[in-house]
Amino acid sequence: MNELQKKIYDRFARYVAVETTSDSNSQTVPTTKTQLSFGKMLAEEMKELGLSDVHIDKNGFVFGQIPSNLDKKAPAVGFLAHMDTVQDYCGKNIHPVVHTGYDGGKLVINEEKKMYLTPENAPRLLKCVGHDIVTSDGNTLLGGDDKIGIALIMTLAEHLLAHPEIKHGPVKISFTIDEETGTGIGYFDIAHFGADFAYTVDGSELGNIDCGNFNADKFVISIIGKNCHPGAAKNFMANPVRIAADIVSSWPEDKLPETTEGEEGFILFNEVEGHLDGATLQGIIRHHELEQFEQFKKDLAQIVEEKRAKYPNAKISLEIKKQYRNMREVLKEKPLAMDVLEQSLKDEKIDYQLTQARGGTDGAQLSLRGLPTPNIFASYENPHGPYEWLSLQWSEKIFNLLVRIVENTAQK
């Protein structure tokens, strides 16, 4: 790896060493104290680099900025990355491993566990022949989502401050909480951030620009049963475990995550707890098109209503909570963020495609609240598990893109 790649990697390795798993069941803000500890570490580093107005707000968001060095007014551009890692897989005691000069064949993550990356299970590896690939040791996730984004933004800040000959307007930086739970960005103070437009550095494949995303809600189905001795259960017992299974099996097979792709929507049943007295079934609803998204919710409510009729001795309730909506229309109405980004991609000769993410980003909520925030790729792949990997050569390309965005914003 060259000097720039090493600088990015060293930061990344320091950041993933700090456990910051978020918790979707927590009622605190942020959902875990480890995010606060990590935020304090980042704030101290930002101060050491020379950023201005560095602070952590009451909700745990880290803020800093680099003042304009222009003699004219220019838009303020913002960069954001989230501090938490997903709770779906272990994010503690992460030990990144660098595989130098990937040769295009099998890449060993953990020989003892027979864990490998190959062009068959990770096809985009073939775009990275000769690259330095970073993985976990197979016992944890890697944390590229999104600590490589943080490392890139920090390295950008250091570079701008060390090179005043690079002309730029105000550059706003924030490291955010609880992106993986979908709850943190709702507490973000856009006016305080002060950017005219921004970018989350939190995408996957090089060249993919997320300028659209799922509409998203989550749901909880609560079932209160009626229990008795199974030998005398006829026409009396209402078994919540059976009812929960019936609800899950009633949702169409072709509208599940494992049977859909592209802009097809789905419902995911992701958690069930139950016994003979009661059960709780949780999940998420996703679709890019708002009309079909609303129909999914109606279809789920209809299934619940049918089960109420089928199991009259049980009490079944459905609660749906709003999460985020598709940012696509906002970015069309306020095009400056995309104009600057697309020009910068062309300047850096990066082939790109505008995509609708099969998920959501902090930028989705920020865009809908008035701050246009498309999502830029961050060089990681296969997030949320032990097969996550990233390319340091991709990281360098993204760093250069961020510099170019700052420069092009200064021309607006």
3-state secondary structure at position 117: strand
Q: Which position has the token pair 């000069």?
A: 101
- Residue type at 3? E
Catalytic residue among 45, 146, 178, 179: 179
pLDDT at residue 246 in the model = 98
H-run or E-run covering 294: helix 290-310
pLDDT at residue 182 in the model = 86
Q: Which pairing describes strands 215-224 and 315-324: parallel, antiparallel, or unpaired?
A: antiparallel
Cα dihedral 251/254/258/260 (nearest 10): -130
Does 110 have pLDDT greater than 80?
yes
Does 365 have pLDDT greater than 90?
no
The 10s digit of each residue's pLDDT in 328-362 is 888 989 999 999 999 999 999 999 999 888 877 78
Answer yes or no: 88 catalytic: no
Residues composing the chain = 412
* 106-110, 166-170, 316-320, 321-325: segment of lowest average pLDDT: 321-325
Domains of the chain and any CATH numbers: 3-213+326-409 (3.40.630.10), 215-323 (3.30.70.360)
Confidence of residue 177 (pLDDT cuts 50, 70, 90): very high
The 10s digit of each residue's pLDDT in 13-69 is 999 999 999 999 999 999 999 999 999 999 999 999 999 999 999 999 999 999 999
Contact 210, 199 (CB under 8 A): no
- Residue type at 178? D
- Residue 85: DSSP 8-state: B
Confidence of residue 204 (pLDDT cuts 50, 70, 90): confident
The 10s digit of each residue's pLDDT in 367-396 is 989 999 999 999 999 999 999 999 999 999
Catalytic residue among 84, 132, 146, 196: 84
Instruction: Determine the Cα–Cα distance for residues 109 and 163; give it in Å rounded to an integer.
Output: 38
The 10s digit of each residue's pLDDT in 209-222 is 989 889 989 999 99
Angle at 41 between CA 38 and CA 42, to 5 degrees: 90
pLDDT at residue 361 in the model = 75
H-run or E-run covering 323: strand 315-324
Answer yes or no: 347 catalytic: no
